[in-house]
A = this chain, B = another copy of it.
C-alpha cells in the first residue's frame, strides 16, 4: 500500500470519494490548527452549503447519544449516509476516539456510510467553537448530506456550539421540572424541536404540558416555527421516525421562509468576528513575546520614551 497522503487537496479528493480515513485526517489537521488547517479551510469554503446540520443537546443522562445512534440507524435503513461530531468541551480527550457513554455509537463504527468523530480543541487557535465550525465545513465539502452535532451537556459552550446547527433538537426526559430546567439553561431560545426521550416512563404528559405552556408564553411571531414536541424511546427505536420527519419539516420550513439562509449568514458573520478577535489576541501574544519588547521596555524604564509612545512604536498606528 502506498503511504497515505497528508496533502489537504488530495485528502479532500479522497474524502469526497468516500474515504473515511482521509476525512479523519482532514479533521485532525483542523483540530491541530496551523498552516495546514488554514489550507483545509481555503479548500472547503467554496464547496459548502449542501449539508443540513442537526444539533442535539440536553442535560447529561437525557439519552442524547442513544438518540443519535437511533437516528443513525434510521437514516442508514433509508440508505442515507451520515456524519456525527460528538463535542465534549470538558474533555481534553481527542483524535476520533469514542467517549465512554458513546459506546453505543460504536455499533456503527464499521459501517462505511457512517462517520463518527469526537472533537477536542488540541492546538486550534479558536477553541472548540471555531474548530467545530470548520469541521462542519469539512464534512459538508466531503459530501456528507446529514451532519449531527451532539454535545454532552448544556453549558454555555455547548449551547453556543449546538447553535451552529440548522435544526436544533433539545432532549428532555419525563419528570417534574425537566422542562423548567431546559428553560433555565437557555434551551427554549435555541430549540427547533423538543424530544421527550424515555417517554415510556411516567410524567411524560406533564413534561409535554410544561413545554407547550412555556412555548405558549414565549414570544413567537405568528408566522414563526413553533417547536413541536416529539415523544421517543430511543433504546427501542420508538418515535425516531417521527423525530426525523419533524427535522425534515423544520428544514423545509426554514428553507422556504428564507430563515435558513439568514441563520447561516448570521453564524458566518459571528464566526468572522470571533476569528478577528482571536487573531488580535494572537498578535498581542506575539508582540509581548517579541525580542523588541525588551528593548522597548528598557527605553521606557530609562525614561527615554513614555509608555504610550512605546506601545504605538511596537504596534504601529491604530487602523481605521
Q: Which of A271-320 contact B (CB under 8 A)?
A: 271-273, 275-277, 279-284, 286-290, 296-297, 300-301, 303-312, 314-315, 318-320
Nearest chain B CB to A307 CB, angstrom units = 5
Q: Which of A16-58 contact B (CB under 8 A)?
A: 38, 41-42, 44-49
Q: Give every chain B residue within 8 A of A44 (Cβ-Cβ).
A: 306
Contact at B41–A276, with CB atoms within 8 Å?
no
Nearest chain B CB to A263 CB, angstrom units = 12
Q: Give every chain B residue within 8 A of A288 (Cβ-Cβ).
A: 273, 276
CB of A269 within 8 Å of the partner chain: yes
Instruction: Give the interface SS of chain A, mostly helix, strand, loop or mixed.
Output: helix
Q: Give every chain B residue within 8 A of A279 (Cβ-Cβ).
A: 311-312, 315, 318
Most B CB contacts (10 A, CB to CB) among A272, A273, A287, A319 go to A272
Contact at A286–B45, with CB atoms within 8 Å?
no
| A contacts, CB < 8 Å to B | 38, 41-42, 44-49, 265, 268-269, 271-273, 275-277, 279-284, 286-290, 296-297, 300-301, 303-312, 314-315, 318-320
What are 11 pairs between A and B in contact, CB < 8 Å? A38-B308, A41-B307, A41-B308, A41-B309, A268-B301, A269-B301, A272-B297, A273-B288, A275-B308, A276-B314, A286-B320
A297's contact among B269, B286, B296, by CB below 8 Å, is which?
A: B269
- Known pairs A272-B300, A307-B268; A286 contacts B319 (CB<8 A): yes
A158 CA to B303 CA, complexed, in Å = 26
Complex A-B, nearest 7 residue pairs according to Cβ-Cβ distance, in ascending order: A286-B320, A45-B306, A41-B306, A275-B311, A290-B320, A272-B307, A276-B311
